[in-house]
Amino acid sequence: MDMKEKILAIAQRLIQTRGVNGFSYADIAREVGVSKPSLHHHFPTKADLVARLMAHYTEQLETYLASVSEHQNTTIDKLKAYTALYRHTLDSERICLGGMLSAEALTLDAQILPLLRRFFDVQRQWLIKVLTEGTSRGELQLVGAIDQHACTLIAALQGALVVSRSAGSVEFFDHTVDGLLSHWY
């Protein structure tokens, strides 16, 4: 792993645990073991670094969702693989990068906003596709519009990550997911 990737990995962890406004270049420098100016060489401004991270985060998400579509056959397995992604974030004692940046959105560089919009839109469109397929195959019987259920899934998983951090345990997250999926199978 070269220096650029090392910086990105540590910065991402810091943002997902402390927020953009809760860490500094000095924190990265300490962990990576280089000086602050060296960081500026790789990422001139903090806004550059954050934008780079968010764009990459969405790309990874798209890759993951494409893989799930390919390898999971049933609708329920696809949805479980989707919730597992969030559960993995919880396991690493982080919240979602997109969720954290959304909370801080009004303090961030304007270039971040379209990236966030895209991040959530990718999930929404993927879920609509999965839920539509599941319905037409008879695997699901949904009440109401499919897009509404897509929104509910995204919102509940995002919220569950944040609340679990304060509610004190992963139990809150797991209950949330069980409550979400209990209607469908």
For a copy of itself, the binding residues (CB under 8 A) are 17-19, 21-22, 95, 98-107, 113, 116-117, 119-121, 124, 143-145, 147-152, 154-160, 162-163, 165-168, 172-173, 175-176, 178-180, 182-183
Distance CA 12, CA 97 (A): 8
Distance CA 87, CA 58 (A): 17
Residue 74 beta carbon to DNA: minimum distance, rounded to whole angstroms:
45
Question: CA 156 → CA 36, 87, 113, 159, distances in Å?
Answer: 38, 12, 21, 5
Structure tokens at 99: 């969720």
Give the one entry of a copy of itself, DNA, none that residue 42 binds, where binding means its C-beta sits below a cut-off of 5 to 8 angstroms depending on kind. Answer: DNA
Return the SS3 of 171.
helix
Q: What are phi and psi of 17, to 5 degrees?
A: -105, -35
Residue 8 beta carbon to a copy of itself: minimum distance, rounded to whole angstroms:
20
Cβ nearer to DNA, comparing 101 with 153: 101
Closest by CA to 65, choosing from 4, 150, 155, 184, is: 150
Q: Which positions from 1 through 60 interact with DNA, judged by CB under 7 A?
A: 3, 23-27, 33-38, 40-42, 44-47
Residue 68 beta carbon to a copy of itself: minimum distance, rounded to whole angstroms:
21
Binding residues vs DNA (CB under 7 A): 3, 23-27, 33-38, 40-42, 44-47
